[in-house]
């Protein structure tokens, strides 16, 4: 295992499963300007961040630009077939000297295996905190 930290300095590990992100997929929708629909202007379909998808995509967000699935995935999010957006599962490794390292994964099983391997390689008997 090649990591960029000294495994002998590990003092703790936190393992966090995926969590729902604040993005929502929305279909194409007519914009509402000054309380009335404008037939010439439309919100394009795509993923909008929280606040831009409430009440006609939220007042003040009438010009919000949606993200594509590819853009969200390049930014580190997971997008499932139902168009739900998730923060990736991750492990945070706490090191002596008040340092920490975080690594993200595609699923919690992959994260758990990586953490167990780290624990085995370090030879330490600490407990892993799951969140």
Going by pLDDT thresholds of 50, 70 and 90, the confidence category of residue 54 is: low
Domain count, the chain: 2
The overall average pLDDT reported for the chain is 81
Check whether 125 has a pLDDT greater than 70: yes
Q: Does 1 map to a domain? A: no
pTM to 2 decimal places: 0.73
Residues 73 and 42 in one domain: yes
Check whether 129 has a pLDDT greater than 80: no
Neighbours of 47 (CB within 10 A): 21
pLDDT of residue 60: 52
> What is residue 114's three-state secondary structure?
helix
Give the range of the structural domain holding residue 65, as residue numbers without chain letter.
22-86
Residues 72 and 94 in one domain: no
Is 69 in contact with 45 (CB distance < 8 Å)?
no
Residues 92 and 75 in one domain: no
Residues 26 and 14 in one domain: no
Residues 37 and 82 in one domain: yes
């Amino acid at each position: 295992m090649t990591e960029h930290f000294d495994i002998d300095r590990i003092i703790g590990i936190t393992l966090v499963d995926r969590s729902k992100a604040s993005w929502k997929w929305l279909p194409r929708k007519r914009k509402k300007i000054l309380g009335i629909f404008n037939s010439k202007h439309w919100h394009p379909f795509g993923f909008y961040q929280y606040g831009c998808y409430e009440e006609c995509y939220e007042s003040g967000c009438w010009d919000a630009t949606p993200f594509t699935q590819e853009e969200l995935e390049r930014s580190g999010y997971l997008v499932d077939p139902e168009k739900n957006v998730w923060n990736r599962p991750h492990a945070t490794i706490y090191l002596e000297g008040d340092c920490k390292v975080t690594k993200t994964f595609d699923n919690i099983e992959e994260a758990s295996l990586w953490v167990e391997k780290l624990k085995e390689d370090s030879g330490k008997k600490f407990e892993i905190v799951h969140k």
